[in-house]
Amino acid sequence: MTSLYYRDHNMELHVGDALEVMATLPTASVDCVVTSPPYWGLRDYGTAHWIGGNPHCRHSLGTTPHQRRTVKKTGTGRGRSDSAKHCRRCGAISQDQQYGLEPTIEEYVRRLREVSAEVERLLTPGGTFWLNLRDGYSYHNSGTGSTRTTTVDDSPKVVRHKSLLGLPWRVALDLQHDGWIIRNAVVWHKPNGIPDPASDRFSSRYEVVFLLVKQPDYYFDISRVLAPLSPNRPASRKSRRGGTKPYTVKSPWNPHSLGKNPGDVWSISTRPLPEAHCAPFPLDLPWRCVTAGCPDNGRVLDPFSGAGTTGLAARKLGRFYQGIDLRADYHEIFLRRLADHTAGTACDRSEVA
């Protein structure tokens, strides 16, 4: 069964598992990948298929993804778990390909490594891979437990209750071990972040966007994303040589005449999208990634496309777009958003596969 959901001369949309769909795409066919995989343990996107049980039941695995990962304790204190997920109401078995509900941190990281390996195959030699990840905290609904993890020798370890997990860097360092070059760990600062009820720590106000590449020589055009220079900066500071003190830099400093490097802290406000899931990143973020990291007329891929914000950025910049998601209705949201961004011109639905 084909995964193709929609195609025209500007884009392709696929429905299915990211890994399975990418395996059907040709090698070295993508110039830029910008994506934000589902965060671990944050939400259930309702993509499960159910086997057995009561066909009229409104199946549920529990109240929250965190509770579904709870490791129950036996009398000996050793953890026990069932690899099959069952409906708490009728016992039906859940089969689900979505990312983010893995029972352990290692399983989540392993799956992202598999996806990244396919990204490496699909990218051109000079391609760029922009990976947005959010951190989280070890959680147990009893307030006394820990999130299970393992060490290299498979001995059980735990991340203690309430501890920050360090998920973005767990993934990034494993990808570095796989051969990726980490060029940047951009801090996406969210000035209007969601209110945090925590009273025993500071609120989380940022996520991380990693810029990963396959080789030292890759496509990157900083001139397209320069930040404006301060109008109050004196001429002597706009172009000057190093100071006269010992050990200072003596070479001349000639900044870009049109602006300055925006740096690796991006303050970009979130923008809610009521008709979609509650986690789309703002258009400005993928726009900056695609602008700097994808050549003109290049091809952009998002293997976790969701409501298609990366697609909007790619199309506004004239790049070909390929999006993959488990839910076809998210592609419909993207097509409506794209029509709104193109002066109300509707997409030709006759080309839907």
CA distance 133 to 35: 9
Neighbours of 317 (CB within 10 A): 17
Do residues 132 and 14 both lie within one domain? yes
What's the structural domain count of the chain? 2
Q: What was the pLDDT predicted at 48?
A: 52
Do residues 199 and 54 both lie within one domain? no
Do residues 65 and 185 both lie within one domain? no
- Which element (helix H / strand E) includes 173? helix 167-177
Instruction: Identify whether the C-beta of residue 158 lies closer than 8 Å to the C-beta of residue 139.
Output: no
Do residues 309 and 340 both lie within one domain? yes
- Domain range holding 107? 4-46+100-228+265-351
Do residues 189 and 281 both lie within one domain? yes
Q: What was the pLDDT predicted at 281?
A: 84
Q: Give the residues of the chain that fall short of pLDDT 70.
A: 1-2, 41-52, 58-86, 92-97, 99, 140-157, 231-244, 247-257, 276-279, 343-353
- Whichever domain contains 38, its CATH number is 3.40.50.150
User: Could you tell me if residue 39 is inside a domain?
Assistant: yes
Q: At what angle do helices 284-293 and 309-316 cross, to 10 degrees?
A: 50
Q: What was the pLDDT predicted at 101?
A: 74
Do residues 345 and 311 both lie within one domain? yes
List Cα–Cα distances, 251 to 13, 43, 222, in angstroms.
Answer: 50, 52, 21
Q: What was the pLDDT predicted at 342?
A: 78
Q: What was the pLDDT predicted at 57?
A: 77
Q: What was the pLDDT predicted at 42?
A: 60
SS (H, E, C) 74-111: CCCCCEECCCCEECCCCCCEEECCCCCCCCCHHHHHHH
Q: What was the pLDDT predicted at 273?
A: 80
Do residues 82 and 185 both lie within one domain? no
Q: What was the pLDDT predicted at 31?
A: 98
User: Could you tell me if residue 282 is inside a domain?
Assistant: yes
Q: What was the pLDDT predicted at 97?
A: 56
User: Could you tell me if residue 259 is inside a domain?
Assistant: no
Return the closest-CA partner of residue 204 out of 213, 212, 216, 194: 194
Q: What was the pLDDT predicted at 267?
A: 96
Do residues 83 and 112 both lie within one domain? no
Instruction: Identify whether the C-beta of residue 45 lies closer than 8 Å to the C-beta of residue 35.
Output: no
Do residues 196 and 110 both lie within one domain? yes
Q: What was the pLDDT predicted at 90?
A: 77
Do residues 53 and 41 both lie within one domain? no
